[in-house]
Structure formats: C-alpha cells, structure tokens
C-alpha cells in the first residue's frame, strides 16, 4: 500500500534500504521475548531514533541522538577546515568555530 501511495505522489523508495522494524510502545518487551537485548533503531534526517521509557512512570518515548555516520562526517569536514585555516590568528579561528 505504501508503494502505491508514494507512486500517486510521484515518489518512490529504495527497496534495498527499506525494511520493517518493530518500533513503538511494546517493541522493547517483544524484543526481549524474542531473545534480543535492544529494539531496532533507524536513522532519519541525521538522527538515530530509538525507543525509550520517559519519566518516572515509564511511559513510552521516542528518543533521538546524533547519527554516528553524520557525526563522523562533520568531524572529518572540521579537520579539513582547520588544516586550511591553521595559519590564521587564533582569535579568528576561535570566533569562526563559535559561530558555527
């Protein structure tokens, strides 16, 4: 159904990158029953989304953290930038880094 709906909108998805995962309120419990330690996660828009329990009552909550892939990519870009600008005065480098 999803494929058909996306086609109506003029969109498509990559079959090799698409998979169904159990995600939601009971995902952690069901994964433990099936012998897994943790429920599946997925990356979307530079963040890794995962299931968690919220406040003291243990309500379900979707949490996000920076994707490892995106973080590594930004670190590499920063290394290149810092090598290109290492001869500039330190105050200018620090000011530029603070801005970004």
| Other Cβ atoms closer than 10 A to 39 | 20
85 and 60 in one domain?
Answer: no
Beta-strand (E) ranges in the chain?
42-44, 47-53, 60-66
Residue 12 maps to a domain? no
Query: What is the extent of the structural domain holding 100?
Result: 68-100
Residue 42 to residue 40: CA distance in whole angstroms:
7
Those residues with Cβ within 8 angstroms of residue 77's Cβ, 6 or more apart along the chain or in another chain: none
Quote the percentage of the chain above a pLDDT of 70. Answer: 100
Would the pLDDT of 8 be above 80?
yes
Residue 7 maps to a domain? no
Model confidence at 62, pLDDT cuts 50, 70, 90, reads confident
**What are the strands of the beta sheet with 42-44, ordered from one edge?**
42-44, 47-53, 60-66
Q: What is the mean pLDDT of residues 1-14?
A: 86
**Based on the structure, what is the number of domains in the chain?**
2
Residue 92 maps to a domain? yes
89 and 62 in one domain?
Answer: no
Residue 93 maps to a domain? yes
53 and 27 in one domain?
Answer: yes
Which pLDDT score, from 0 to 100, does residue 92 have? Answer: 92
pTM to 2 decimal places: 0.63
Would the pLDDT of 32 be above 80?
no
């Amino acid at each position: 159904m999803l494929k058909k709906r996306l086609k109506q909108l003029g969109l498509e998805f990559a079959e090799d990158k698409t998979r169904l995962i159990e995600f939601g309120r009971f995902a952690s419990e069901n994964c433990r029953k099936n012998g897994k330690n943790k429920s599946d996660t997925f990356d979307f828009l530079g963040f890794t989304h995962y299931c968690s329990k919220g406040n003291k009552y243990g309500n379900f909550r979707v949490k996000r953290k920076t994707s490892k892939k995106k973080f590594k990519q930004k670190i590499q870009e920063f290394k290149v930038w810092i090598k290109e600008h290492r001869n500039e005065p330190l105050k200018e480098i620090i000011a530029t880094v603070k801005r970004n």
